[in-house]
Amino acid sequence: MKFGILVNEGPYTHAASDTAYQFVKAALAKGHEIYRVFFYHDGVNNGTRLTVPPQDDRNVVKRWSELAALHKLDLVVCIAAAQRRGLMDAAEAKRNGKDADNIAPGFRISGLGQLIEAGIQADRLVVFGG
């Protein structure tokens, strides 16, 4: 089965991101395909490379980056939600006159069309978080 994943909550706000990560990991282990993981609303905060959790806590952003590298996952951060929260890649930073970017490895910024496409291409779109 081919899944599209939508994550609407930040990495340390609710369990939604952790649950989505565990779902994706389990689905891949069972041989399913993940078409795309789309981060929306506060979920875009899963894509910032500036997150520094305590050493005894899980590093949710690093987990997503590592899983994406291992399985060639498409991790997409909504551009509008990201800009509202100060998250941008190098191209967006330059376009908006900012002197730095903060997107984590494995993530990319794009529009809502990527979510729509995931819903069309996947057999199921699974939503995590309100």
pLDDT at 130: 84
Annotated catalytic residue within 78, 82, 115, 125? 78
CB-CB contact of 15 with 23 (8 Å): no
Span 16-21, average pLDDT: 98
Active site residue 115: no
* Domains of the chain by start residue, with CATH: 2-128 (3.40.1260.10)
Helix (H) or strand (E) holding 68: helix 60-71
CB-CB contact of 37 with 2 (8 Å): no
pLDDT of residue 3 exceeding 90, the answer is yes
Span 108-126, average pLDDT: 98
> pLDDT tens digits for 54-63?
999 999 999 9
- 5 falls in which pLDDT band (50, 70, 90)? very high
pLDDT at 44: 98
